[in-house]
Amino acid sequence: MNILLDPTILFFIFGIFAGLVKSNLEIPQPISRFLSLYLLMALGLKGGFALNKSGFTPEIAISLGLAITLAIAIPLLGYNFLKYKLDKLDAAAIAATYGSISAVTFITTTQVLDQSGISYGGHMAAAMALMESPAIIIAIILANRIRQQRSGNASGHTSLGKILHESFTDGGQLLLLGALVVGLISGDSGHKVMAPFSIDLFKGLLAFFLLDMGLLAAKSLGELKGKPSVTLAYAFIAPPTHAMIALGLCHIFHISLGDTILLMILAASASYIAVPAVLRHAMPEVSPALYMGMSLGITFPLNIILGIPIYSAVAKYFV
């Protein structure tokens, strides 16, 4: 549990405390957006530099294949469980939220792995990018089908082409992949030039960003009042369940320890940026407070504070 003594995690916990005591501490939105883009760019560069050294191997192909498999299976499993307990549109929205990923949780985990001396592949940044969109696409397809069943026609139909374009041209995801390509092309020389930016500053800016995320997480807890009990239970139970599914697949295919931990944390995480941004327009029937409160108020702090050390310990035992 040494992770709880890490300054970045302590700043996250402090942010939650400041939010719960209703402090007026806040990070201006433009700064928060900059920090998010910086972290994605730094992560992409780091992944590209690592890929330049390792090249594309069969294990990389298998890891990326597992990432895509998880990104498709998790939202389908979630929807088929929740549709019997909630309104089907609510079930689709929650399934999409938990089928997608949290980039900040992933980035925090890479920082922990670096400090622990556990190596992982640079391709995992690409795996993270690949896992973001499938759940959104699945949710839109499900929502269109639900609306057609209820109305008997295609009214309220959301264009899949438009959703695909928004998913794959999202600024953050595009920056991540672009930085990955830049790192891959520039190699060692690029690494030396960019190290002061992408490595030396990384820890401090991550701590500042997690402080902001702690404040947001505390505010999101209030949005959970009056929500069905099954949603609260799902926010706690789904992440470790998804992580164990990822662990099982990684064990079968003999994935390395570092990559296994990252796939587990990706499977366990839930989106609070990309999915809500799309669903607000594509599924206006569902209140954003439902899936935002679950993912940001419960699952995100649960993964950051407890999930990372627990999943890492379990992975070490099996791998």
pLDDT tens-digit readout, 177-192: 888 889 889 988 998 9
Amino acid at 210: L
- The answer to whether the beta carbons of residues 265 and 243 sit under 8 Å apart is yes
If one counts every other C-beta atom within 10 angstroms of the C-beta of residue 233, the result is 11
User: What are the pLDDT digits (tens) for 215-259?
Assistant: 888 888 777 777 788 999 999 999 999 999 999 999 999 999 999
Query: From CA 219, how far away is CA 238, in angstroms rounded?
Result: 22
- 52-86 burial, b if ≥16 CB within 10 A, otherwise e? beeeeeebbebbbebbeebbbbbbebbbebbbeeb
Cβ-in-10-Å burial (0-12, 13-18, 19+) of 151 comes to exposed
Alpha helices in 83-152 (DSSP H): 88-99, 103-116, 124-130, 134-151
Take residue 17 and report the two structure tokens written for it.
């405390």
Take residue 182 and report the two structure tokens written for it.
């830049």
pLDDT bucket at 91, cuts 50 / 70 / 90: very high
- The residue ranking higher by pLDDT, 307 or 284, is 307
Using alpha carbons, select from 283, 280, 300, 287 the residue that is nearest to residue 221. Answer: 300
The whole-number average pLDDT for the span 151-172 is: 63
Residues 6+ apart with CB under 8 A from 175: 37, 40, 41, 44
pLDDT bucket at 166, cuts 50 / 70 / 90: low
Query: From CA 94, how far away is CA 271, in angstroms rounded?
Result: 10
Take residue 231 and report the two structure tokens written for it.
């949603």
Helix, coil or strand: residue 14: helix
Give the dihedral sign, CA 169/202/6/116: positive
For the chain, the domains span 28-216+226-318
Long-range pairs for 238-241: beta carbons < 8 A, 24 or more residues apart: 238/78, 238/98, 238/270, 238/299, 239/98, 239/268, 239/269, 239/270, 239/299, 239/302, 239/303, 239/307, 240/268, 240/307, 240/310
Residue 76's pLDDT is what? 96
Assign a CATH topology to domain 28-216+226-318.
Answer: Na+/H+ antiporter like fold (1.20.1530)
User: What are the pLDDT digits (tens) for 200-211?
Assistant: 888 889 899 889
Query: From CA 154, how far away is CA 96, in angstroms rounded?
Result: 22
- The answer to whether the beta carbons of residues 277 and 308 sit under 8 Å apart is no
- 194-216 burial, b if ≥16 CB within 10 A, otherwise e? beeebeeebeeebbbbbbbbbbb
User: What are the pLDDT digits (tens) for 5-53?
Assistant: 788 888 989 999 998 899 999 889 899 889 888 988 888 888 888 888 8
Residue 4's pLDDT is what? 67
